[in-house]
Amino acid sequence: MTTVKDKLKERIKELTCLYEVTSIIANSDFDQIETSLEAIVYCLKNAWQFDEVTQVHLSLGDYTIQTEGFRDSMTMMDSNIKVFNKISGIIKVGYPEDRYFYADFLEEEKDLLNNVTIAIGNLLERKQIKESEAKVKRQMERTDRLHILGEITAGIAHELNTPLANILGFTELLKERIDDSGAVRDLDKIVENAIFSREIVKKLMFFACEMPQEMQPVELNEMIESTLKLLTPSLRTKNIKLTKKFGSDDIRLRADKVQFTQVLFNLVMNAIYYSPVKGTVGVSIIEKGKKIQICISDEGDGIDPKIEDKIFEPFFTTKPLGEGSGLGLSVVHGIISSHKGTIQHKPNKPKGTVFVLDFPKL
């Protein structure tokens, strides 16, 4: 028979556990959640009536923590951990099945377990809120930087356009007046590099949104087919297999044809560049509700998680020096945003990257 003294002792254990769990959560480091969860598990073990044989198991996302003697066959009580009203984990408290029954658990212990799972859920909610706030802050800072850089870039692009045009014009005039073949070859190199520089200026102006848009309804399948034909020599050079999947014969959206072609060209060219010889590049278009989704995949090494937040930043590139200006994906991002679309990337299976573009239907 349970005495008043025994009942009081159990209430003290439960209150002590709740106090300790509250303290652990209050002082929890969001970067060391597993340490906090482990401490909570051992607090619970000591709070139950038969603490010498009590075992605890906690499962939450990537975390699985349990006391040494826990077994799935034990007599158990459990409580779900909810994060934003969604079940995300569970805590189980068990006694040896050969000596104890569910009736051996106290009602107060059930209340304690429920309170602890609520507290853990609140901790995880605060963690997610903090991470979301940090992400929004980074996006705002990035937007501010891009805005300032865009203004600077627009000015630089305008300043460079005139001297580049003069270099090209006067070089062509010199070629007409010089008979020396060696000098002509040198002048050809000047023209070639001036044209390359002019293309960079165009990209800068795209990035800075200085190129006027001519928005009109375009037939997407036809545009992609035309872009892929331009890239046939690059595909052939690396013996790349191209797979195409179009969800419909007539998919239309409102776009600037020149800018949209540049988006497709850049992304498919990147897919070819990063795919191995005899690899596969995939292009697909599907209609999803009120959106049109374009997916471009490669079989390269994928994007390192350490740099995935930087790939759309201007002048950032993983290509060797001289093979990329670091403006391609920045320009792509800017054009897609101006078309009220979004671009994301995800791992391809078994390896590589998939860029996913979403646009509103016409």
The predicted model gives 129-154 an average pLDDT of: 72
**Residue 146 — very low, low, confident or very high, per pLDDT cuts 50/70/90?**
low
Q: What are the beta bridge partners of residue 191?
A: none
pLDDT at 1: 46
Count how many Cα atoms sit within 13 Å of the Cα of residue 247 in the half-sphere of its side chain. 13
At 49-81, the pLDDT tens digits run: 999 999 999 999 889 999 999 999 999 999 999
Given this model, what pLDDT does residue 3 score? 78
H-helix or E-strand spanning residue 80 = strand 75-83
User: What pLDDT sits at residue 164?
Assistant: 81
Sort strands 241-246 and 215-219 into parallel, antiparallel or unpaired.
unpaired
With cut-offs at 50, 70 and 90, classify the pLDDT of residue 162. Answer: confident
Provide CATH code, domain 4-134. Answer: 3.30.450.40
pLDDT recorded at residue 133: 85
pLDDT attached to residue 96: 94
pLDDT digits (tens, 9 = 90+) for 260-276: 888 898 899 889 999 99
The architecture in CATH of the region 215-360 reads: 2-Layer Sandwich (3.30)
User: Is residue 88 helix, strand or coil?
Assistant: strand
Residue boundaries of the structural domains of the chain: 4-134, 138-207, 215-360
Asked if the model's pLDDT at residue 209 lies above 60, the reply is no
Alpha-carbon gap, residue 75 to 93, rounded angstroms: 8
pLDDT of residue 339: 87
Give the count of beta carbons closer than 10 Å to the beta carbon of residue 148: 10
Lowest mean pLDDT among 89-103, 163-177, 197-211, 212-226: 197-211
Largest CA distance in the chain: 116
DSSP assignment of 228-264 equals HHHTHHHHHHTT-EEEEEES-S--EEEEEHHHHHHHH
Helix (H) or strand (E) holding 347: strand 342-347
Measured at the CA of 253, the angle between CA 251 and CA 259, to 5 degrees, comes to: 120
Taking alpha carbons only, the member of 354, 337, 342 closest to residue 207 is 337
Please write the tens of the pLDDT for every residue from 79-88.
999 999 999 9
User: Hey, do 4-134 and 138-207 end up sharing a CATH topology, with the first three levels equal?
Assistant: no
Measured distance CA(264)–CA(260) in Å, rounded = 6
Alpha-carbon gap, residue 55 to 41, rounded angstroms: 9
Q: Which residues pair with 80 in a beta bridge?
A: 90
Q: Work out whether the CA dihedral 327, 329, 333, 339 comes out positive or negative.
A: positive
Give the residues across from 95 on adjacent strands: 75
Residues 288-321 have pLDDT tens digits of 888 999 999 999 988 888 888 788 776 667 666 5
Long-range CB contacts (within 8 A, 24+) of 45-50: 46/13, 46/17, 47/13, 47/14, 47/16, 47/17, 47/109, 47/112, 48/13, 48/93, 48/105, 48/109, 49/10, 49/104, 49/105, 49/106, 49/109, 50/95, 50/100, 50/104
State the architecture of 138-207 in CATH terms: Orthogonal Bundle (1.10)
